Structure 1
Amino acid sequence: MGAWVWAQPTPRPAILGISHVAFQVKDLSKAINFYHGLLGYKPTRMRQKNTAPEQVTFKVNGRQHLKIFSGLPDGQDERMLEIALEVTNAEAMRQYLLSKGLKVPPKLDQEPTGILSFTVEDPEKHLIKFIQLKQKNTSKSFREEQLSDAVSDRILHVGITVADVKKMDAFYLNLLDFSEIWRGGRPDTVINWINMRVPDGTDYFEYMLVSGPVSRQQLGVLHHVALQVPSMQKALDVLRTRLNDPQPYKLESPRIGRNNRWQLNLYDPDGTRIELMEPFPMR
């Protein structure tokens, strides 16, 4: 009598953290002035096909980048293009999601640098890219090659709009094994934000809960990136030396957030919020 052969479940490869966040901008020069002139990240222009939007990459550290693309159309509210998650094996991740019934591309994309990736949509249409870095890059410390002029050397979290928590949890919590680490709101009796940490690292997504249509201005606030700074005062001191070079920038005052950490909101020329945040609560 033949023995039963049970199909083994496809394992999920490690999801290490946020690799990059990409935004579309209307005026590339003005955006570079913000991300380079104010935040201090060195711009690297990427070669694109003639018909493709121009791309500029800003290295935050050895494993994380901010990216901007030209060509934001007049009247388009959405500026966030994609969020990339670093995985140990892109093909294994594609096979894992396929085994769970998710629609995935038939094959991986390979960049000239050897980076492997594929992109899917989450339940609320945010584009999520899974990216596998070249082997020689994966052993580097994430702080390696961080620029001394940069105001921060880490992307701590990225904010995304969420209208249906159950549907998003089915993707991030149940499928990708993210875990909830904090929730809060203003006032305390209301939940406005839920923080969901990646399964194999300390970066996290912030659910920005919405209950109806949002304006362009609101979307720029909700779809945001948080950069960690060891000291808000030191960050302020650096930013204040750059407020008029190369173009004037009006700096808001820092505030203490609902998580009891110092925070400072900055906005690029298209209204996308870049949040600076200290790593620990105030004492």
Structure 2
Amino acid sequence: MRRSFALALLFAFATLGWSQQRPAITGIAFVRVYASDAAASADFYGKTLGFSSSKDGKVTRYPVNDLQWIEVTPLPSPAPASRLEAVGFMTRDARALESYLKAHSVEIVDPLRKGRFSVRDPEGNLIVFVQQVKGAAVPPAVPATAVSRRMIHAGLVVKDPAAENRFYREILGFRPYWHGGMNDTTTSWVSQQVPDGSDWLEYMLNVSPNATLKQIGVMDHMSLGVAHMNDAIAALERNHCEGPNCTAAKTGRDGKVQVNLYDPDLTRVEMMEFEPVEKPCCSEFTAKHPTEQEPR
């Protein structure tokens, strides 16, 4: 009898531990930005970047591939300091992940509904978790005019990286990918890769509390991955991209070639090659690089 009770107790503890295992988080699902001018925003994301769109209420969605998309929603009044409203991550089990976060005392802002729920990270950023699906997550199909078919990271202004690490690394299981800065002695960018994929979230550090909208737009950004930047620049040219930024390729401090564009509300949309072309500054990469197509 005593042995049976002990085995039952052991099983209960084992079951509890199993039930609180974190479900897989496989990558970025979407980035949602605000738009003050719907027509100008549609011109940038639809024509310059070459994505098709669909509407879901007030939100316009631009699929990047079957599992990733960009969301654009009207700018509220009063306008917030940042034009980036939310970052979404894919999970293989949204219901189990919601339970896991509750068990770790993370407040659920929007409970699970239609395959997604949301929380706020320690700095108040809206983070959405989306149930991964088979087939296209949102319509329509990605056209040949698209400059990229892969979103590889998003960046957020971060004031307290230690607090953010407790959430992203200790609870969610994100892992270091690379860190660097404008010089070799100051860390201004810290990349945290999702636990079950190669996409990452970039902490943008050392940002002035009096930063302008343009400066915040540089920091709160999204990044589209490309294999060869020359092909992306050629696609921009075919899409009639205007201005010097359309061809201003440069190698970043991480050794990767990039081109930076800005939407009408000054949110930066970075295009970045998947792999570095030269040795990075400041630190070595500590995880695999993204690719154009990955198993999820």
Q: TM-score, normalised by structure 1?
A: 0.87
Name which of 195, 201, 204 aligns with 1:199. Answer: 195
User: 2:81 maps to which residue?
Assistant: 77
Unaligned runs of 5+ in 1: 49-53, 111-115
Percent identical across equivalent pairs? 32
CA distance in 2, matches of 1:164, 1:212: 13
Q: Secondary structure at the match of 1:108?
A: strand
Deviations 1:90-114 (A, max 9, x none): 110011011111112584112xxxx
Deviations 1:149-196 (A, max 9, x none): 100000010001111111000000100000001111111111010110
Deviations 1:184-228 (A, max 9, x none): 111111101011000011111111113540221111110000101
Q: TM-score, normalised by structure 2?
A: 0.84
CA distance in 1, matches of 2:109, 2:260: 37
Superposition pairs of residues 1-283 of structure 1, within 5 angstroms: 1=2, 2-3=5-6, 4-5=9-10, 7=13, 8-9=16-17, 10-46=20-56, 48=57, 54-73=58-77, 75-105=79-109, 107-110=111-114, 116-134=115-133, 136-137=134-135, 145-210=141-206, 212-213=208-209, 214-243=211-240, 248-251=242-245, 253-282=248-277
1:221 partner amino acid: V
1:31 partner amino acid: S
CA distance in 2, matches of 1:74, 1:240: 36
CA distance in 2, matches of 1:160, 1:249: 26
Q: Which has the higher helix share?
A: 2
Q: Number of aligned residue pairs: give it.
A: 264
1:169 partner amino acid: N
Deviations 1:20-62 (A, max 9, x none): 110110001100100111000012122x2xxxxx211101001
CA distance in 2, matches of 1:106, 1:62: 24
1:117 partner amino acid: R
Q: Quick one: structure 1 residues 157 and 204, their matched pair in 2 at CA, closer, same or farther if it must change by over 3 Å?
A: same
Q: Is the 8 A contact 1:122 1:171 kept in 2?
A: yes
Cα offset, 1:242, TM superposition: 2.9
User: 2:291 maps to which residue?
Assistant: none
Q: Is the 8 A contact 1:243 1:250 kept in 2?
A: no
Q: Quick one: structure 1 residues 199 and 28, their matched pair in 2 at CA, closer, same or farther if it must change by over 3 Å?
A: same
1:225 partner amino acid: M
What's the RMSD between the two structures over aligned residues? 2.0
CA distance in 2, matches of 1:72, 1:241: 33
